[in-house]
Structure 1
Amino acid sequence: MADTLNLTLDTGEVVIKLRPDLAPGHVERIAELANAGFYDGVVFHRVIDGFMAQGGDPTGTGGGGSDKPDLKAEFNKEPHKRGVCSMARTSAPNSANSQFFICLANANFLDGQYTVWGEVTSGMDAVDKLPKGEPPRNPGKILTARAS
């Protein structure tokens, strides 16, 4: 299984340590989609200053996902702190698919309700530079994403 997810954003390089010990199914999905080129060109459609940056929807609207089935929740005890990567979902616990978010600040109110699958080990400055908005006027983009 892959150890890292390497993102090239239009704002810089980001390296995410994958955590299969916390969420093996989600890590497998993220790596599979990344290595298939699914995330290449996808925007961060929701970036809230002091909270999080959300992407992973190929439609750029927040309403889309991959053609793969939704994932069973793998909620864990890992805290949602700055740099943590977690899966976005609807109000249904088992609805995560391809969308994810990176915490820009501590968000402990999310703990135990969303699946943490990784943590940024370098490049938070690039994440911090993403244009803010819901959606941003000129959203930041993932140029390439690869798991290795």
Structure 2
Amino acid sequence: MFRTFGIAAAALGLMGAAPADWRALDPENTLVLETTKGRVVVELRPEFAPKGVERIKLLAREGVYDGLQFHRVIDGFVAQTGNPNNRDGGTSRHPDLPPEFSFRIPAAAATVVVERSDAREGFVGATPFQAVSAAEQALRPDPRLRGWGAYCPGVVGMGRQADPGSANSEIFVMRAAARRLDHEYTVVGRVVAGGEAVQGLAVGEPPKVPDLMLKVRVAADLPESERPRLEILDERGRAFREHVESLKRANGAAFSICDVEVRSRVR
């Protein structure tokens, strides 16, 4: 199960967090899902998958997602939606997308929180990633960080069929960690508010009475008064680093980036 923290929980857990420790969402890369279980806010990360993010925003702006069912919801795994025919295998009128299972980004764009001999782990915004080790990176002429999205709770990916290049319109939200999906499905972002709504979706394949995405919008397209008034704990800030270090001390060798929950507050 995953949670996203509202203002009360954030205030209790981060009493020492200064205003500079929080950051606003980028409206152009914020997806707002109005569902039958409540509002879900997703921070999209084009650094991970520029084509996937572009497609999701296009479909939202075309109204393709409005009214679609969460047609496959599995406890402890995923909630899937986004197929125009409300079942696996549906596609939009747009062509399928190439796989975006890994990325290369400037090292300064990422926050590494774990350095291991065989890998690094960290965050771009609220979205977790794993990357090759510093030693392996040093063997290559390209200085950019080479990594891939980590399927932790709340991470949003693009569904596909057996062909790796068959992502089109389907999206899914992780209801729990499933790192076996890393390298296999395109990561486009992470839920930063509304985790309770995702956990409350009717379960089934399909559910007997499926929940719906009533409306899906890019926040930049909403009137200012209707946009999410959220700030996210900045992964580059002191409070975030201290929070991660406390989790490392508590969990020891078992620590994983999937232990780091999204913390948000209403501004």
Provide the TM-score with structure 1 as the length reference. Answer: 0.98
Q: Does 1:45 align with 2:48?
A: no
Q: Does 1:90 align with 2:116?
A: no
Cα displacement string for residues 110-133 of structure 1 (whole angstroms, at most 9, x for unaligned residues):
001100001000001001111000
- Other structure's SS at 1:91 match: coil
2:149 and 2:187 map into 1 onto residues whose CA distance is 7
Q: Higher relative CO (CA 8 A, sep ≥ 6), structure 1 or 2?
A: 1
CA shift for structure 1 position 62: 1.4
Contact 2:79 2:174 in 1 (8 A): yes
Q: Does 1:135 align with 2:206?
A: yes
Aligned to 2:140: none
Greater Rg over alpha carbons, structure: 2
2:194 and 2:91 map into 1 onto residues whose CA distance is 25
1:61 and 1:23 map into 2 onto residues whose CA distance is 24
CA shift for structure 1 position 65: 1.2
Contact 2:89 2:161 in 1 (8 A): no
1:93 and 1:135 map into 2 onto residues whose CA distance is 24
CA shift for structure 1 position 63: 2.1
Aligned to 1:113: 184
Aligned to 2:90: 64
For residue 37 of structure 2, the aligned residue among 5, 11, 14 is 11
- Other structure's SS at 1:53 match: strand
Q: Does 1:74 align with 2:100?
A: yes
- Other structure's SS at 1:54 match: strand
For residue 47 of structure 2, the aligned residue among 6, 21, 33 is 21
1:22 and 1:38 map into 2 onto residues whose CA distance is 23
- Other structure's SS at 1:109 match: helix
Provide the TM-score with structure 2 as the length reference. Answer: 0.55
CA shift for structure 1 position 3: 1.4
1:61 and 1:75 map into 2 onto residues whose CA distance is 23
CA shift for structure 1 position 19: 0.5
Cα displacement string for residues 35-72 of structure 1 (whole angstroms, at most 9, x for unaligned residues):
11100000010000000000001111212110100001
CA shift for structure 1 position 2: 2.2
Amino acid in structure 1 at the alignment position of 2:67? G
- Other structure's SS at 1:98 match: coil
1:101 and 1:61 map into 2 onto residues whose CA distance is 13
Aligned to 1:146: 217
Aligned to 1:32: 58
Supply the RMSD in Å over aligned alpha carbons: 1.0
Amino acid in structure 2 at the alignment position of 1:140? D
1:91 and 1:3 map into 2 onto residues whose CA distance is 28
* Structure 1 unpaired stretches of 5+: none
2:191 and 2:87 map into 1 onto residues whose CA distance is 24
Q: Which runs of 4+ in 1 moved over 6 A?
A: none
Aligned to 2:80: 54
Overall identity of the aligned pairs, in %? 48
Contact 2:40 2:194 in 1 (8 A): yes
